[in-house]
A and B are shown apart, each in its own frame.
Chain A
Amino acid sequence: ETGVTQTPRHLVMGMTNKKSLKCEQHLGHNAMYWYKQSAKKPLELMFVYSLEERVENNSVPSRFSPECPNSSHLFLHLHTLQPEDSALYLCASRLGGYTGELFFGEGSRLTVL
């Protein structure tokens, strides 16, 4: 138990669906991250929210949309995804903005049919 909770753990969706992934931490951290993990590849940063500033990887398609309503909650909204978007999506947080120990959630395994 790392203190970072992700829901759902598994999600299967069609290409026309709209769904959301949720991440929650009550560790008092002020930076939260979304990562994509595909087979045989390093973790790929999608979005960072740090001290209310959003940083994004410009290669992330617009069908992925993050939302960070407060410092404890992070969402990833999914819309008209493609089969190649099937992957493990990991949320992480840490205390010091861009420094400090990393705390990861268990991940959300997404399958796009």
Chain B
Amino acid sequence: KNEVEQSPQNLTAQEGEFITINCSYSVGISALHWLQQHPGGGIVSLFMLSSGKKKHGRLIATINIQEKHSSLHITASHPRDSAVYICAVDTDKLIFGTGTRLQVFP
């Protein structure tokens, strides 16, 4: 069992819908990262957080350290949000989830 689990693995949505992607982990961490990977392959860092909540545009990330759980929310989703979203945690090393593939249709 991976130490970082994401759900769902695949997600489809209509444009404008509110999206939630979840990440649960089983180890003690110093920080959690949300990353976005487009079909071309490159990965972009969306958030790095160790407590509470962060917001950037239509993206919101929250973390509950006690419950070892984080969520990534996308408000008013758009087809350009279609990508793979990856959760990663910092312990004494980086541990990655397998990603959530999101497709947003017009």
Contacts and interface: CB of A to CB of B under 8 A. Distances in A.
A88 interface: yes
B41 A107 contact: yes
A98 B98 contact: no
B20 interface: no
Interface stretch (A21-29, A38-46, A60-68, A70-78): A38-46
B43 A42 contact: no
Contacts of B40: 106-107
Interface stretch (B27-35, B55-63, B64-72, B74-82): B27-35
A102 B33 contact: yes
Interface string B61-105: 000000000000000000000000010101011111111000000
Which label, helix, strand, loop or mixed, suits the secondary structure of the A interface? loop
A79 interface: no
B27 to A, nearest CB: 14
Nearest to B90: A99
A4 B2 CA distance: 28
Interface of B: 2, 4, 30-31, 33, 35, 40-45, 48, 86, 88, 90, 92-99
18 contacts: A2-B45, A33-B94, A42-B2, A42-B96, A42-B97, A43-B96, A45-B93, A90-B43, A98-B90, A98-B92, A99-B31, A102-B35, A102-B45, A104-B42, A106-B40, A106-B41, A107-B40, A107-B41
